[in-house]
Chains A and B, each alone.
Chain A
Amino acid sequence: MTVLADPALAADARRERRFFLSLSLPALFIVGLAAILPIAWIIRQSFLTTGGEYTVGNYEKVLSSGLTWSALVTTLELSLGTLAICILLGTPLALALASARPRVANLLMAFVMLPLWTSILVRTYGWLVLLRREGLINAALTGSGLTAEPLPLVYNFTGTLIGMVHYMLPLFLLPVYAAMRDIDANLVRASASMGATLGQTIRTVILPLSAGGIVSGSLIVFIYTIGFFITPAVLGGGKVNPLSIRIERTLSTFQDWGSASVLGILLLVLMALIGVMFLAARRLLARNKFGAAHA
C-alpha cells in the first residue's frame, strides 16, 4: 500500500472512488428492485394468515409436514445426482476439449453450446419424444431385440435426471474447460518427461490445477438444479416432487400463499447454505495450492 503524502492527491483518489461507486448505483437499484424487494415481500407473506394477521403458524405447518421433508430429500437427490453425472461426464469431456487442436476444440465447443441456446421447454419436450414408451430409443431397443419390453425411461426419476443433466452439462463444462485450458502446457510436458504415465499426469497435475474450475462448475449445477421446476414437472410424471413443485401445488391447489412463502424461504436458505459450503471449499483449495507452491 503506497501512502499518499500529498493531501490533494488523496482527495483526488477519494473523488475517483466515489465516482466509480456511483457508477454501480443503477445496477444496485435494479438488484434492489428485482431481488431484495420481492424477497422482503415473501418474508412478510410467510408471517401472514390468509386473513392478513401476523402468525408463525405457516412455519409450524410447513416444517411439521412430512410432505416438506420428502420434497427436500427429492430436491437434494436430484441435485446431487445431476452433479455426480455432470462431474463424471463433464470432466473427461473438458479434458478432451482442452487438449484438442484449436479448430477441433472450437467445433466440439459449438456442439456443446448448441443445446444451451435452445429453450428449456423445447429440450424437455424433445426428451419426451425420445424417451417415451413408443419413442425413438425404446423403438430402437425393442426393434433390435435388445429388450423385450419398452424401458420406463420417462415419467419417473430417471427421465427427470436425464433432462436435468442435459441442461446442466454445458454450464458445468465451461468453468472446468476454462481452468484446464489455462494450465501451463509446460507442466504437462515436464511431468511426462519425468516419466509420469498419462494417468499420473492427470491425477497429480491436471486435476489439482483444475479443481477450482470443478468447484465453480459444481456450484453452478447445485444452485441451478435446486430450483428446477419445468423438467421434473414434464418428465417426472407426477411422481418426482421436489420443493419447487411443492410450492406450485401449495399455491394452485391450496391457495396458501403463507405456506408457499415459507417453502420459498426454505429453498433460499438451502441455496445460501450450499453457497457458503462451496465458498469454504474454494478457500480451502486456494490455501492448499498456496501451501503446495511453497512446499
Chain B
Amino acid sequence: MSWLRISLAAIAVTVALPVSAQTVTITTAGGDYGNAVKTAMWAPAAKELGYDVREETQSDGLAALKMQVTSGAVSTDIIHLGSPEGAQAAAQSLLEPLDYKIIDPKSVPDGAKSDYCYPFDSYGTVMSWNTKTYGENPPKTWAEFWDVAKFPGRRALRANAQDLIEIALLSEGVAPADVYPVLSTPDGLARAIKRLEAIKPNVSVWWTSGAQSAQLLKDGEADLLVTWNGRAQTVKADGGAADYTFKGSVIGTDCLGVPKGAPNKEAAMKLIAAMTQPARVAKLTDFIAYGPVNPAAYEGGLIPEDRLKTLATAPENAGTSVFSNADWWVKNGEAAQKAFDEMMNR
C-alpha cells in the first residue's frame, strides 16, 4: 500500500515540476550591455520569482519583434528596445499594453511615461575624442566639432539620422529646448541635413554598431566621434587615449516591452516589475554607465557619488542636453532617415 502511495507521489512530483517552473524568454541586445542587464537585473529577479528565464539576443530588436509578431510565431515574452523603436512598435500594434497594476506607475517620471514600453535606463549620445590628438584642448561644443579648421582630424559618426540631426542643429547654436520645435518647422529637417552634409567630407567612418564606434575610438582610427557615453566610458576606463563630454548630449532611454501575443504575458509583466526595482537598475551602473530612469534609484546612496558623474541623467550633466523625443521620431523618423540616406548618397 505504502509503495503505491510513494510511487504515486513520485509521479505527481515529476509531472508537477515542469509545470510549476514558469518560463519566460527575454530578448536583449547581447554583448557587454546584455550581460550587464542580466547580472544586475533579470537574473536576481528571476531567482526571487522562481522563474526559469531564457535569453535570446538581437542587435536589431524592432526588426526581430516585427518578424515574430507578423509571422504569428512569438517566442519572446520581454524585448529590450530603444524608446523611439518602442514608440514605433507601439504605433504598429506590435506590443501589449503594460500592466500598471503590476508595474509601479510612480517609478517613471511624467516626461518619460509610456503605455507600451517601460523605460528603465538612459544614455547620452556624446562627443568623444582621442586625447593623443587634442591633448588638453579638445573641442568643447558641437560648433567646434564642426570647425575643421580649428580642430583638424578624422570624424566618425553613426550611419543613422537618430540623434545626429538634433546634434546638427545644436552645432548651429539652436538652444536645446528649441531643437524639436525647429525640426518640426517645414525646413527644419532640411537645415539639419544640410549641416551634416557640410561635415561629410571630414567623416572617415560612418559606424553602424556601438561596439564598432568603441573600436574606432580605441584604435585611434578616428580623432573625434559621436558615440554613446557607455561606450566612451568603457574605452576610457580600459586605459584608452579617450575622453568625452556630456555637454550637449542627446539623452535617450531604453525600454522593455511585451510583444503582442507573447506566450507568458502576465509573468512577463511581473518580471519587468521585479527586474526594474530601484536597487537593480542602480546596480546596472556597476557594469555599464547607463543611468536609471526611476528617480528612486538615485536616492539612499544606491549609486556611489563618483559614479553619478558618469551618468547622462545626473543633475549636473543634464543642463545642456536634449531629451530625445520618441513621438517626433515616430511621426518623422522615416522622412528623416530617407533625407539622411539621400544626403549620404550625394
Binding site for B on A (CB under 8 A): 50, 66-67, 70, 132-134, 152, 155, 233, 237-239, 241, 249, 251-255
B32 at interface (Cβ–Cβ under 8 A)? no
Binding site for A on B (CB under 8 A): 60, 62-63, 66, 88, 92, 154, 159-160, 204-208, 219-221, 334, 337, 341-342, 344-345
Using known A-B contacts A252-B63, A255-B62, determine if residue A238 contacts B342 with beta carbons closer than 8 Å.
no
Inter-subunit contact B63/A251 (CB<8 Å): yes
List A contacts of B60 (CB < 8 A): 252
Min C-beta distance of A172 to chain B, whole Å? 29
The secondary-structure label for the interface of chain A is loop
Q: In whole angstroms, what is the CA distance A207 to B221 when docked? A: 44
Inter-subunit contact A134/B63 (CB<8 Å): no
Q: Closest 7 CB pairs between A and B?
A: A238-B206, A238-B159, A237-B205, A155-B205, A252-B60, A252-B63, A253-B337
Min C-beta distance of A15 to chain B, whole Å? 45
In-complex Cβ contact of A134 among B66, B219, B345 (8 A): B219
Inter-subunit contact B206/A237 (CB<8 Å): yes
Q: In whole angstroms, what is the CA distance A134 to B216 when docked? A: 11
List B contacts of A152 (CB < 8 A): 204
Sample of 10 further A-B pairs with CB below 8 A, known A155-B205, A237-B205, A241-B344: A132-B221, A133-B154, A133-B220, A155-B204, A238-B159, A238-B205, A241-B345, A252-B62, A252-B63, A255-B92
Q: In whole angstroms, what is the CA distance A147 to B168 when docked? A: 35
Q: In whole angstroms, what is the CA distance A238 to B155 when docked? A: 13
Q: In whole angstroms, what is the CA distance A72 to B50 when docked? A: 54
List A contacts of B207 (CB < 8 A): 238
Q: In whole angstroms, what is the CA distance A66 to B205 when docked? A: 22
List B contacts of A251 (CB < 8 A): 63
26 A–B contacts from the bound complex (CB under 8 Å): A50-B92, A67-B341, A67-B345, A132-B219, A133-B154, A133-B219, A133-B220, A133-B221, A134-B220, A155-B221, A233-B208, A237-B204, A237-B205, A237-B206, A238-B159, A238-B207, A238-B208, A239-B206, A249-B341, A252-B60, A253-B160, A253-B337, A254-B334, A254-B337, A255-B63, A255-B66
List A contacts of B337 (CB < 8 A): 253-254
List B contacts of A155 (CB < 8 A): 204-205, 221
Most B CB atoms within 10 A — which of A152, A238, A239, A251?
Answer: A238
Closest-by-CB residue of A relative to B222 is A133
Min C-beta distance of B259 to chain A, whole Å? 14
Q: In whole angstroms, what is the CA distance A152 to B220 when docked? A: 14
List B contacts of A253 (CB < 8 A): 160, 337
List A contacts of B345 (CB < 8 A): 66-67, 70, 241
List A contacts of B342 (CB < 8 A): 66-67
Q: In whole angstroms, what is the CA distance A166 to B208 when docked? A: 24
List B contacts of A241 (CB < 8 A): 344-345
Q: In whole angstroms, what is the CA distance A96 to B182 when docked? A: 66
Q: In whole angstroms, what is the CA distance A285 to B260 when docked? A: 59
Min C-beta distance of B239 to chain A, whole Å? 16
Min C-beta distance of B94 to chain A, whole Å? 10
Q: In whole angstroms, what is the CA distance A64 to B160 when docked? A: 22
Most A CB atoms within 10 A — which of B62, B92, B154, B208?
Answer: B208
